[in-house]
A = this chain, B = another copy of it.
Amino acid sequence: MERPRHQGMAKNTCMRWRLPLVCLLWEVAMIVLFGVFVRFGPEADAHWEEEKHQMNLTSDIENDFYFRYPSFQDVHVMIFVGFGFLMTFLKRYGFGAVGFNFLLAAFGIQWALLMQGWFHSFQNGKILIGVENLINADFCVGSVCVAFGAILGKTSPVQLLVMTLFQVTLFAVNEYILLNLLHVKDAGGSMTIHTFGAYFGLTVTRVLYRPNLEQSKDKQGSVYHSDLFAMIGTLYLWMYWPSFNSAISEHGDAQHRAAINTYCSLAACVLTTMAFSSMLQKKGKLDMVHIQNATLAGGVAVGTSAEMMLTPYGSLIVGFICGIVSTVGYVYLTPVLESRLHIQDTCGIHNLHGMPGLIGGIVGAITAAAATEDVYGKEGFIKAFDFTGSYKTRTPSVQGGFQAAGIFVSLLMAFAGGALVGAILKLPIWGDAADENCFEDDIYWEVPEDEESDVYHMHNPDKPASP
C-alpha cells in the first residue's frame, strides 16, 4: 500500500544555504562584537595577582570561581542535557530535540553574554566577564529552551535561531527592568526565566497555529525507549535544580538556603505528581508525561523565594501545590488550550513553566512582603533584599508590591515579544515543515536506517534465521 507523500502544500525545507548563512554570519558578528566589547573580569584576568593585594585577599580561594563554578557546571548540564533530553520523548524527534537545543543554546549564550553584559557588566566601554556571567548567560538561554518546548517539532533550525536572537534580547531588557529598575529579587528566575519564557513561547506557538496538525498526530507520542531518554533529562533537571536556584545568590547563607529550599520543594512535588497522575487516570496507571514534567514544577515555583527565608516547610507546601497544579494542567488544561485557544503546546510548558512560574512570582512577593528583621537579623535583612543606597528605606511590603509588579512586566514582555517574534517566524522564508511532516527528524537530519532485526541475525550467525 502506498502512502500519499504530501497531503498539504509541498514546502521547501532544505536548509542547505539558509542554515549555514545564518550560522556563519551571526558567528562572525559575535566575534566582532566580542572583539570590541568583551574582556576578562578582574577575577579572571592575569592582573588578579595585583588585584588581590589591593583587595587585601590572602588566598586564591576567595576568587568567585570557587564560590560559583560547581553551580555553573550543574546549570550547564541542565541547559544542554536537562532540557535537551527532556524533549527526546517524541518517538522520532530525538535528534531535533537534543541537536537543535544544542544549536540554539550555543548561539544564545554568546548573544546573552553581550546583551546582559551591556546592561549589567559594562565598565569603561568594556563588558567584563567572569563565572557569574556564564551562569547568567545559561539562565537566559534557559528561557529560550522553555519556549522551544512549546514549538518543538514544528519549526526549522533557522526559525529557532531567529527566535533565540529576539528572545535573548527581550529577556535582557525584561531582566534589566525587573532587577535594576524595580529592584526585584529573582535569583532562580521564576519570573525572568520561567514566566517570561513560557508565555513568550505560548504566544509564539499561538501565532504559528497549525490547524491541520492532527496529520502528524501519530508521531506526537513516545516509544518505550524515548521515554527513558527523556527521564535522563528530567532527573538532571530535578537533581541540579538546587544549584540552579542558588547559583547567583549572595555568597554564604543565601546560596546555602536556596539549595535547601529547592531540595525540599522538589521532593514534595514528586509525591503530589505521582498521586494525581494515578488519580486522574481511570485505571490508576502512572503517566510518564507527568513524571517527566510535573515533578519539576516545584523547582520553578521557588525560583524567586528560595534564597529568602521561605523555610523548609514553606518549600514543601509550594512543591505540594505545584505538583498538583502541573499534573492537573497536563490532564485538563492542555487539551482545552489547543481546542479553544489554538495554543499547540508540544511539551506542555504552560504546566511546567507557565503556571508554576506565576506561582513562583506570587510566592516570592508574599515571602518578601512578610520579611521581618526578627526573622532575618538586622544585617541579614539588609543583605537579603539589598536595601542599601537608594533602596535604603524600602519596606518589605513595598518590596512585595514591586515583586508583584515584576510578574506583570514579565507577562507583558512575553505577550508583546511573543506576538512580534511569532509574526516574524510566520514569514514563509524559514523552511519550516508541512503539517504532516512535523515531529519527524527526517526533514532536517540524516537518519540512519533501522535494521535492528537484520543486524540481530547478522551478528548471530550461529543461530538459524527464523524461517
Contact = CB atoms under 8 A, between A and B. Distances in A.
Interface string A8-51: 00000011110111011011101100110011100111111110
19 contacts: A1-B465, A3-B458, A16-B284, A27-B268, A27-B271, A28-B320, A30-B268, A46-B383, A50-B378, A63-B255, A70-B70, A73-B243, A76-B239, A88-B228, A99-B291, A106-B267, A106-B295, A223-B452, A286-B444
A228 B102 CA distance: 13
Interface string A369-401: 000000111111101100000000000000000
B380 A48 contact: yes
Interface string A433-464: 00000001110111111111101111111101
Contacts of A49: 252-253, 377, 379-380, 383
A172 to B, nearest CB: 17
A344 B225 CA distance: 27
B157 A31 contact: no
A316 B29 CA distance: 11
A430 interface: no
| Number of copies of this chain that the complex holds | 3
Given A223-B452, A375-B46, A14 B283 contact: yes
A46 B316 contact: no
A276 to B, nearest CB: 7
A46 B236 CA distance: 29
A65 interface: yes
A275 interface: yes
A374 to B, nearest CB: 10
B219 A455 contact: yes
Given A19-B274, A46-B257, A263-B134, A70 B67 contact: no
B225 A274 contact: no
Contact of A312 (B38, B81, B275): B38
A62 interface: yes
A278 interface: yes
A171 interface: no
A341 interface: no
